[in-house]
Amino acid sequence: ANKLGPAGVETDDSGTVTRVDRDGDDYVYSRGGYLERFLNYSVGGVFQGLAGFGIGELGIISMLRTQVPVRVAIGTNHIVVATTAVLASVVHVFGGGLVGGHTMDLATTPWNMVVWTVPATTLGGQIAPYVSTALNTQTIKAGVGGLFAAIAVALFAMAAGGI
């Protein structure tokens, strides 16, 4: 009815974005910080290709550092991570002999992991927006920070040979 622009988004002359969700909540942020986000996503992309993680972690941190609201940052990050994951999977599975350094092909794909991982990820991705709507933004920030801290500790322990 009285939504802003296409999909409830409007940008004023100074670059301030106002986004309105289905519930009528406003999210206001600046379009600044592109260079920081670009660099973090680039570094994250390298780690994603090398180790299978990184683009999501560095992306969400850079968005939050550049004052993008938590819910907008999480939603945008999901799109980036999903697209990257699909493209990387296609290269790893189908580009085995075509791309140097890749030996995986359809015959050597660990389908037993795919069968369980894809449905679990899809289900979690559908549940997460409802959970995030029910939680306070500060709770989400604290939870994401705690999760990243736990991941960091686990990675250091693995690198040291403890796990």
Residue 74's nearest CA partner among 82, 161, 30 is 82
Amino acid 97: pLDDT: 57
Whether residue 106 is contained in a domain is answered as: yes
Whether residue 150 is contained in a domain is answered as: no
Whether residue 105 is contained in a domain is answered as: yes
Number of domains in the chain: 1
Kindly report the number of other CB atoms within 10 A of residue 104's CB atom: 16
Residue 36: give the domain boundaries.
Answer: 32-117
- Token digits for 109? 């794909």
Whether residue 8 is contained in a domain is answered as: no
Those residues of the chain that have pLDDT short of 50 are: 1
CA 163, 42, 117, 94 dihedral sign is negative
Amino acid 35: pLDDT: 92
Instruction: With 0.75 as the threshold, say if the pTM is over it.
Output: no
